[in-house]
């Protein structure tokens, strides 16, 4: 019984940290990435950025990811946009502007982490699990060796 209580408490703490991290990221992204909207718009920039983060975390496309989220939430209080609405919002901004906004948000994130002393020690913060088989010239850009799979030893290493 004691183990179960500790596990529930740990899960509760992890959920709080996850929620705070998600909100921090959404607010940070909202400062840098603004979407054009009319006065009678249903979705503001912060909501669109939250859906963007959610889709990134679940590695889904707009249509299927937002449809799944709509099914999961299924309340009248929460209006989740369709994939088409979501894509229309994002497509109004130029790719260069989005890239610059994401870079600025990333820079601010690292400044915040650095100022709080989180980056004093070395840590693994991301691991690339990309394993797309490659069948072309092994001397091409971004090609690395790997375990033999599906008739090739070469993989595309995306950055």
Domain boundaries, the chain: 2-115, 128-159
More confident residue, 1 or 74: 74
Using the CB atoms, write b or e for 4-18: b if 16+ within 10 Å.
eeeeeeeeeeeeeee
More confident residue, 129 or 145: 145
How far CA 20 is from CA of 89, 111, 131, in Å, comes to 26, 18, 32
Q: In DSSP terms, which residues pair with 155 in a beta bridge?
A: 133, 144
Mean pLDDT within 85-114: 88
C-alpha closest to that of 69 among 83, 84, 80: 80
Q: How far is CA 7 from the centre of its chain?
A: 27
Mean pLDDT within 123-148: 77
Distance CA 29, CA 51 (A): 12
pTM: 0.63
Q: Which pLDDT belongs to residue 75?
A: 65
Each residue of 36-82: pLDDT tens digit?
A: 777 778 888 888 888 888 888 888 888 988 888 888 877 665 688 88
154 token code pair: 């070469």
């Amino acid at each position: 019984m004691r183990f179960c209580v500790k596990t529930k408490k740990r899960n509760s703490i992890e959920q709080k940290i996850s929620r705070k991290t998600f909100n921090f990221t959404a607010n940070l992204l909202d400062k840098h990435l603004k979407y054009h909207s009319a006065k009678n718009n249903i979705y503001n920039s912060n909501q669109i950025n939250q859906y963007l983060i959610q889709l990134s975390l679940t590695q889904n496309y707009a249509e299927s990811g937002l449809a799944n989220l709509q099914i999961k939430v299924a309340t009248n209080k929460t209006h989740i946009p369709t994939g088409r609405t979501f894509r229309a919002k994002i497509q109004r901004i130029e790719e260069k502007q989005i890239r610059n906004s994401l870079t600025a948000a990333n820079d601010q994130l690292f400044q915040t982490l650095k100022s709080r002393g989180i980056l004093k020690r070395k840590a693994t913060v991301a691991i690339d699990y990309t394993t797309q088989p490659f069948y072309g010239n092994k001397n091409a850009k971004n090609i690395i060796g790997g375990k033999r799979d599906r008739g090739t030893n070469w993989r595309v290493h995306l950055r």
